[in-house]
Chains A and B, each alone.
Chain A
Amino acid sequence: MLDALLIAGTVVCAIRAIRARHLLSAALWLAGVSALTALMLYKLGAEQVAVVELSVGAGLVTVLFVFAISIAGDDGLAEREFIPNWFTVGLVGLFLLILGIMLLPLDEMDGAGSKTAMAEMLWENRTLDVLLQTVLIFSGVLCLLGLLTDSHAPAKHNIPHEANELEIEPMDERPEEMMA
């Protein structure tokens, strides 16, 4: 019962996030999706991932959304259809039908079963992934710094206008003693 409630809540939050008129509302509904996803992950037994999802997905990403919306403003762009709504719904429905036929019912897979602890799995068996994540985080931070820099801000090292009015003699016309 609780599982069905969690799933239904997540679906409702996702629908509200997509259909929300204001961007801030969409960001808050998305935080709800993340929090409920973290709860489901916890109930699946993936405690570590649930904690990371709750802190990063529901915390950090929501803060970033609110930050971006507060900088750029909410222009309340009305939804306009690129393609007809019936075609979109049909396309998504067809895709989900094919995916559902392929996946359901989810039988027990023939996995060998691994008793390796997650820390060992992450730091020893998947070292390359950890390295990649580190590079990804740093490149993300650098991209963020580069993109959030105001491109219209005046450069700090501009030559002051007064300097253009100074009469500086060309090097060739200066007396030789000065050159020496």
Chain B
Amino acid sequence: MNLDILLVGVLAIFGIGLYGLLITRNLIKVVVALQILVKAALLALVAAGEASNQLNLSQSIAMTVIVADTVVAVIGLALAVQVKRVLGTFDTTLLSKLRG
């Protein structure tokens, strides 16, 4: 696989995730955007391992990234469900009600 083309794609995916994180105010969409960001980081990590001829090292680190990413998604979704139960919406702007 051509790593330069892959890296351009990784940059595009990362940009889409970052854009989604900046524009959205829906809590579930925030988790979706975070997931997309992490997918780009994962691909870049494995591509770097391939380029430096240390694929097994990069795979073991990528495994840690996947686990951490899944736990972040689980906690984010559970928080979103609780926010929906309490406030009745996923709107992050209403979370300012949590002040004192």
Interface of A with B (CB < 8 Å)? 3-4, 7-8, 10-11, 14-15, 17-18, 23, 26-27, 30, 33-34, 37, 40-41, 43-46, 48-49, 52-53, 56-57, 60-61, 64-65, 67-69, 71-73, 75, 77, 79-83, 85, 88-89, 91-93, 95-96, 99-100, 103-114, 116-118, 121-122, 125-126, 129, 132-133, 136-137, 139-141, 143-144, 147-148, 150-152
Interface size on B, residues (CB 8 A): 74
Interface of B with A (CB < 8 Å)? 1-9, 11-20, 22-26, 28-29, 31-33, 35-36, 39, 42-43, 46-64, 66-71, 73-75, 77-82, 84-86, 89-91
Contact (A136, B55) CB under 8 Å given A77-B26, A88-B19: no
- Give chain B nearest CB distance to A80 CB in angstroms: 6
- Give chain A nearest CB distance to B76 CB in angstroms: 9
Contact (A136, B80) CB under 8 Å given A14-B17, A23-B29, A113-B53: no
- Once the chains bind, are A56 and B70 in contact (CB under 8 Å)? yes
> Majority SS of interface residues in chain A?
helix
Contact (A147, B82) CB under 8 Å given A109-B51, A136-B68: yes
Contact (A72, B70) CB under 8 Å given A49-B46, A77-B90, A91-B22: no
Residues in B whose Cβ lies below 8 Å from that of A34: 35, 39
- Once the chains bind, are B28 and A14 in contact (CB under 8 Å)? no
- Once the chains bind, are A33 and B39 in contact (CB under 8 Å)? yes
Residues in B whose Cβ lies below 8 Å from that of A60: 70
Residues in A whose Cβ lies below 8 Å from that of B70: 56-57, 60-61, 140
Given A81-B23, A122-B60, A144-B78; 17 other pairs, CB 8 A cutoff? A18-B20, A30-B36, A46-B55, A60-B70, A68-B77, A75-B89, A80-B25, A92-B19, A93-B15, A96-B11, A108-B52, A114-B54, A133-B67, A139-B71, A147-B75, A151-B82, A151-B86
